Amino acid sequence: MKSYFIFLFLYLSQNFYFSYEHRCGADLIKKKPFIIPENKFKRRLNSEFTPIKIKIDYTRLKIEVKGNINYFKERFSNIAMYLSSLLSVQHINVGLNDDLVKECTNISENNVGTWLYENDLVLFPYINENFDDDILAAAAPCLILNNYRPVGGFIEINKNVLSNTKRDIDAYFDMLLLHEISHILGFHPSFFEGLDLMSKETINGYEYTFINSPKVVEKARIHFNCPNIKGIQLEDQGGEGSVGSHWEARYMLGDYMISTDYSEVVISDITLAFFEDMGFYKANYYTGGLFRFGKNQGCSFLEDKCIKSGEINFPNEFCAEPNNPFCGSSHLSRGICNIGRYDEEIDSRYRYFEDDKIGGYFSSANYCPVSYTSSTEYNYYIYDYNYPAHCKYGKLLYSSVGEVIGGNSLCFESSLVPSTNFITPTLQSVCYEIQCNKFKKEIIIKIDESKVVCPGERTTLTNIDGFTGSIECPEYNLVCSSEIPCNNMIDCINKKSTSIRSTYLYLEGNILGRNDFFILFLLYLLLI
């Protein structure tokens, strides 16, 4: 994997699995960012944090893109808007000139000198004709202040992106750009080291790198329910660029800042905490609660192996039966248990089975078997969708048993078939439309005109009136974790920016509905 963000369509060697993966290539870009002299900028008297304003120079895209570049402009503009809802900064006046701009690109529009008087970050996207087919984009900061705050960066886009016309290209490209720009904003080893946000630790003879900044540790302790956390490990596999530049997927699978694309891509509070720990940003912590990998699993999740002696330690995250239907840990995407045989022996640190060549195909998660998408089911759709298995915007496959793809759908391992339907029950990963009953802590699953009620705990339901087969119910607090449901990380950012003004009160990452706040206010009046 490479580190200033990149996407790869990797078809794994076996026919059972496929994955659309991005590889980050920060280390492919050897040029270090230019430090702007102190006499070129000054802080405004007003130290208030305001939504980050991003300026995008499309000059090179206009020259290099043969045809209409409006799509690129639309996606970049949307991500700039999303980031302004996500991060706030203290504005700093920075004077630019042609020499400084050349640190980012050799081509620029006129009047660049005032861009950083009016904005907080300038981006220069362009097409790279020389990328390998497995690299779709790369990005790097090119202008930073002497306190390591980035104010300029460039994004190189593989020409192959121009030919991606899949049905969910908007969600895919938004994720790519958000990851890329996040590297520019600070998620990169040069910032880790320069701002003293990381530590190294030797464990059993191997050196690992951790982000140990205060807010990251605080949010990680809450998420994993582990008071002993001293930091979150960075990726230690994948080759140049991936190592040390992203979260370790074994612990942060699904967060958008892991090195390899995954069908469940969300923003975690832990990543937002990292940006706050840089000292330049304030973050809006409404993520919709979509990051659920390892949630409330305790310190053992971080310390123990995912599988011991064939026994699964954490059944929501890991599996042990090859090809069995298995939803992603956030239940946003369908999949199967992705265990297979490698040509060579797996590193002894990451062996969980008697055969030294058997392990999870998603190697970035330290070869732990996790949910992956089955090409046997999606073979005819991989050219139509980037994420065909996603329950929010993927491909509808099981309409005959009540599957629904949409904003209120989640994945369940189910063999349920209506009694009036003469289909043989077969266990599958199925997307059902759901509602959360917060008073009874129940998950209400809509299947055609019927409803199936899952209790609050993880359990298997059988003998359901009107159905044959069974369904695996997840914990209520795992999947019903948000007062405002959202489809993906971008949707969550949008809903945060609107709801904060009209619907919900946000206090230290907690969410209170208007009715809840009114009740608390009445209690307060009674107490005084």
Each residue's pLDDT tens digit, 481-494? 776 777 777 887 77
Name the one residue in this structure whose structure tokens are 């009209």: 502
Q: Of 194, 221, 240, which one is at a domain's C-terminal end?
A: 194
Q: Which structural domain, as residue segments, surrounds residue 521?
A: 489-527
Residue 342 in any domain: the answer is no
Q: Of 176, 194, 212, which one is at a domain's C-terminal end?
A: 194
447 and 510 housed in the same domain: no
499 and 457 housed in the same domain: no
Q: In the predicted model, is pLDDT for residue 22 greater than 60? A: no
Residue 334 in any domain: the answer is no
Average pLDDT of span 437-460: 93
Q: What is the pLDDT of residue 37?
A: 78
* Candidate from 40-49, 68-77, 302-311, 510-519 with smallest mean pLDDT: 510-519
Residue 219 in any domain: the answer is no
Residue 352 in any domain: the answer is no
89 and 164 housed in the same domain: yes
Q: What is the pLDDT of residue 5?
A: 32
pLDDT digits (tens, 9 = 90+) for 258-302: 988 788 889 999 999 999 999 999 998 888 788 999 999 999 999
Q: What is the pLDDT of residue 28?
A: 58
- pLDDT level of residue 379 (50, 70, 90 thresholds): low
Number of domains in the chain: 3
Q: In the predicted model, is pLDDT for residue 196 greater than 70? A: yes
96 and 153 housed in the same domain: yes
pLDDT digits (tens, 9 = 90+) for 303-329: 999 998 778 889 999 999 998 999 999
The more confident residue out of 309 and 465 is 465
Q: Of 194, 210, 236, which one is at a domain's C-terminal end?
A: 194
- pLDDT level of residue 236 (50, 70, 90 thresholds): confident
Residue 276 in any domain: the answer is no
Residue 118 in any domain: the answer is yes
Average pLDDT of span 344-356: 92
469 and 499 housed in the same domain: no
79 and 29 housed in the same domain: yes
404 and 523 housed in the same domain: no
User: Can you tell me whether residue 150 is helix, strand or coil?
Assistant: strand
Neighbour order of strands in the sheet with 150-158 = 34-35, 137-144, 150-158, 121-128, 54-56
Average pLDDT of span 206-235: 95
518 and 442 housed in the same domain: no
Residue 49 in any domain: the answer is yes
Residue 116 in any domain: the answer is yes
Q: In the predicted model, is pLDDT for residue 403 greater than 70? A: yes
Q: Residue 136 class from Cβ within 10 Å (0-12 exposed, 13-18 middle, 19+ buried)?
A: buried
Of all helices (H) and strands (E), which one includes residue 216? Answer: helix 214-224
